[in-house]
Amino acid sequence: MEAIVRQESGWILSQQLASGAVITAYPGQPKIVPYFGHLALYGLAAWGFSLSRVRAYLDWYLAHLERPDRYGVTGTVYDYYLDERGAEVPAYTYDSSDSYAATFLTLVRLYYGNSGDRAWLENHRQDLELVAGAMLATLQKDNLTLARSDWRVKYLMDNCEVYRGLKDYAWLLAEAGNAGEAERYEALAGKVREAMEAKMRVNGGYCPAIYRAGLRRRPNWKKWYPDALAQLFPIITGVLTPREEAARRLYANFLRNYPHWYRQTQPENFITTLVAYAATLMEDRWRVLQYVEGLEENIIARGHPWPYHAAEAGILLLALKTYLAGDAKE
């Protein structure tokens, strides 16, 4: 597995532009999607690899903060395209304001946790506060966030990432000596978690989304996205700890519906590495090993064909770090 870690780390870096941005290799025109950039660099930051390159991306993101954006929100970053000359052209939109900001703050925590770069943290304190504001710009009275100000849906995945982002930003504030603000963000994280448990928990899982007027949709386990995949996000983001009975029931329900997920490593039936990361957290080591072996043969050895992209590699590195940490305990 160490060889895969080295190879995929190098491949992620090969997707980074001189500006610091990370490309997601969509079919056709290359695209910069900050959310996927964050996930791609999670792996490098967690392993402590190429931290100067991670910092270059952090600098790129903060240099592209909108003040405000087309939706009236300050502290967001648009998606970008590369034109025929290789110039970065804003798309003037993004998939979500809450998740982009939240996952950026999680990436900053991973970077700082392995670099101890206090100077960077202090130099960008005001910018980070803007990002935190963007994360909470769509926070509603029920303590759940909308994906975007013009897309009034509260997604389980987004709110799980907001919970994690709030916790990580609270940790960063405490590291910077701002105990009062750290407590405030920690309390906000607790409220988001409580809201998810109260508003989104249903028998056997969570509703993947709450729509206008509070309409809740029960999870359709046969529908992969967002319904089934979303069920793993409370585990992935720490809303549920792996040893909690609720987490074990949730993962058991997932396996009941997708018992052979670990076999889906061909480009035509590829299942995201997020599942492998969740499985690693749940100590489902045999399935993880089978998945990684298939991934190495069918994806990595074949030059990383679509739909595998840099974010998949980043989450794979997180999964492998957790897996190897388990080896060390045995």
Q: What is the pLDDT of residues 204-225, one digit of tens each?
A: 899 999 998 777 878 999 999 9
Instruction: Report the alpha-carbon angle 63-68-72, nearest 5.
Output: 150
Q: What confidence score (pLDDT) does residue 127 get?
A: 98
Residue 229 has pLDDT above 80, yes or no: yes
pLDDT value at position 8? 98
Asked whether residue 32 carries a pLDDT value surpassing 80, the answer given is: yes
Please compute the mean of the pLDDT values over residues 19-33 and round it to a whole number: 86
Are 161 and 109 within 8 A, CB to CB?
Answer: no
pLDDT at res. 118: 96
Share of the chain above pLDDT 70, in %: 98
pLDDT at 327 over 70: no
Q: Which residue pairs, CB below 8 angstroms and at least 24 apart, start in 115-118? A: 115/48, 115/51, 115/55, 117/51, 117/55, 118/175, 118/176
Q: Is the pTM of this model over 0.95?
A: yes
Produce one character per residue of 29-47: b if its CB has 16 or more CB atoms within 10 Å, e if not: ebbbbbbbbbbbbbbbbbb
Burial class (CB in 10 A: 0-12, 13-18, 19+), 177: exposed
pLDDT at 217: 79
How confident is the model over 43-64, as a mean pLDDT?
98
By mean pLDDT, which of 177-181, 201-205, 284-288, 306-310 is the weakest? 201-205
Mean pLDDT of the 176-201 span = 97
Res. 329 pLDDT band, cuts 50 70 90:
low
Stretch 139-156: mean pLDDT: 96
Q: How confident is the model at residue 197 (pLDDT cuts 50, 70, 90)?
A: very high
Q: Residue range 13-41: average pLDDT?
A: 92
* pLDDT on residue 163: 98
Alpha-carbon distances, residue 186 vs 124, 163, 183, 189, 232 (angstroms): 20, 9, 5, 5, 22
Does pLDDT of 235 surpass 80? Answer: yes
Q: What is the mean pLDDT of the chain?
A: 95
Q: Contact, 132 vs 167, CB < 8 A?
A: no
Residue 74 has pLDDT above 70, yes or no: yes
What is the pLDDT averaged over residues 43-65? 98
* Per-residue pLDDT at 330: 52
Check residue 52 and give its pLDDT: 98
